[in-house]
Each structure stands twice: as C-alpha cells, then as structure tokens.
Amino acid sequence: MIAQAPFGRTGHQSSRLIFGAAALSRMRQDRADELLPLLLRHGINHLDAAASYGDAELRLAPWLAAHPGRFFVATKTGERTGDAARAELERSLERLGVDSVDLIQLHNLVEPDEWETAHGPGGAVEAMVRARDEGLVRAIGVTGHGLRIAGMHLRSLERFDADSVLFPFNFSLLQDEGYRTDVERLLAVCDARSVAVQTIKSVARRRWPADFEGQRFSWYEPLTDADAIGRAVRYVLARPALFVNTSSDAHLLQAAIDAAEDGGPTPTDAELEADAVAHGIHPIFDGADLERIDLGN
C-alpha cells in the first residue's frame, strides 16, 4: 500500500501518490471504471480534478457515488472573478455529483494581471472563502506551471493563507538555480504554515518533438522506461512533505504506483544525470513559453 501523510492542516491523511484525474479527460466511462479498483488496491485516496479537464469530473462521479467518503476530492477553477469562479465551482459540484469538495484550487495562477483580479475585491479568492464558509469546500489552494510559479505562490501566500500549493518538481527543472531557490523558499514557508505541497511533472521527459506523429496523452513527452520513472518518482517522494500527482497519461499510472510502493533507495544525482543522458531528458519550461496554458499534470 502507498504510504500516507498529513495533507497540510486539512486533517486528512492523503496517499502520497495523488491520482491526477486529467488522465480521465478524454477517456470512456468503461475505461475509467477500470482504474478505480487499481486505486483502491493500492490505497490511493486523493483525487485531483479540474473544471477544465474535459470529462474528468463526469468520469469521477460514479466512483464517488459508489464509494462515499472514500476519497479526498479536489478540483480547480480557472476563473479569476468571483461570480465566474462561483459558477464554475457549482458546475463542478453538479458534474461530480457531490454537495461539497474537500479542496478547491485557483488553477494556474501565474500571470500578474490575473493574480490581481483573483486576489482583489470581488475576485475568485473572496468567492471561494464565501463558498468555504457555506460548506461547499473545505480548503482552498493554488496551482500553477512554469519557472515563475514558485515565486508567484510565495506572493499568493503573503496575500492569502492558502491550504495547499501545486507546482512542477523534478530533477531537470531544479537544475535551474533561480527556480530551485524559489522552490526552497516556498517549501520553507509551507513547512512553517503546514501548507500541503503537491508536485506535478515528476515523469516529464521533454517537450514533444515537432515531428512526432503518434498518440499524445499528455502535453509533454513523458518517460516510459519503468526504472527511470521509478527513480523520478522516488526523487520527489524522498522529501517527506511532498505529494506526487500522477501523469495525465494513464498508461504510466502503474509504474508510478510501483515506484511509490516499493520504498526503494533515493536516486543519486549521478543516477538522475545518467537518466537525463540515456533518455534525453530536458527541462520543459523556459520561464515564459507554455505557462499560460492549462497543461494538466
């Protein structure tokens, strides 16, 4: 079974591997239903969805009805004004078939203009606080992509005492000194305030080559070698406070589960550098490009 840890100050013991429901966005219901027993068998008790993840919320609804109270349910709103965020939350509740969710997250809040709107009067933060007071959500978090996001999360935590953050974390991205510095500062603040820390892009290999013509189940090209995936996941989980959100490519779910369960050794920098050479791993963000897009996990 996958180990659990306190999800910040929410009071929930979450599996350290969180199911990224972006994997369900274009999936048929019968295929989606095949994944639930896998989650149950391995103790994954935390689901991360978003209003913008296609049909993901609809695919989760039968699971939640069949297993009430079994999962910590998180979703996200990409809206920045209060009225629009409230409407999107209500739509998510309807699509999920629930009266409330455990966590609502402001999705990919990285651009300064959007940040000002969300945190300003009549913004999404204000609306989600009211929704929390009404019992529609239990906790409020913030998510994002790209090399600027750790710094923006620090700014968000200065303005609003969020319950969770979510951002990219892998060996190749942390070779960027500026990003690594921001991440370490963010982790220190989250530790001091008991803010839950979720990570994404753990198994990212690189951006898709321009001439790639096969199927794509995630916006980036992921690792496919099981041993390399294992080292990538264990690299993140070596930090006791971190949670790993699984890839939007459902084909990689079992390999991530195996890595999270086996309790193997923390990979060395030399091993991860060797993986970078052997598998052509490159950072997928450059500080600007792709940061505005809803990229999933």
In tens, the pLDDT along 96-106 reads 999 999 999 99
The set of residues, in sequence order, having a beta carbon less than 8 Å from that of 219 and lying 6+ positions away, is 208, 248, 290, 293, 295, 296
Domain membership flag for residue 225: yes
Burial of 100: CB neighbours in 10 Å, binned 0-12, 13-18, 19+: middle
Alpha helices (H) along the chain: 29-41, 56-66, 82-96, 112-119, 124-133, 149-159, 177-193, 226-237, 253-262, 269-279
Averaged pLDDT for residues 119-143:
98
Q: How confident is the model at residue 36 (pLDDT cuts 50, 70, 90)?
A: confident
Residue-range definition of the domain harbouring residue 239? 4-279
Q: How confident is the model at residue 35 (pLDDT cuts 50, 70, 90)?
A: confident
Q: How confident is the model at residue 293 (pLDDT cuts 50, 70, 90)?
A: low
Domain membership flag for residue 239: yes
User: 249: closest CA among 282, 213, 297, 291?
Assistant: 297
Q: What is the CB neighbour count within 10 angstroms for residue 187?
A: 18
Domain membership flag for residue 156: yes
Query: Is the pTM value of this prediction over 0.85?
Result: yes
Number of domains in the chain: 1
Averaged pLDDT for residues 279-293:
74
pLDDT at 61: 97
Which CATH number covers residue 175?
3.20.20.100
Domain membership flag for residue 172: yes
**Alpha carbon 139 to chain centroid distance?**
15
Q: What is the CB neighbour count within 10 angstroms for residue 97?
A: 14
Domain membership flag for residue 289: no
DSSP 67: S
**Cα–Cα distance for residue pair 101/156, rounded to 1 Å:** 22
Domain membership flag for residue 287: no
Lowest-confidence segment of 87-91, 150-154, 244-248, 259-263 by average pLDDT: 259-263
pLDDT at 161: 97
Domain membership flag for residue 285: no
User: 256: closest CA among 229, 219, 284, 294?
Assistant: 229
Domain membership flag for residue 257: yes
First to last CA, the chain: 23
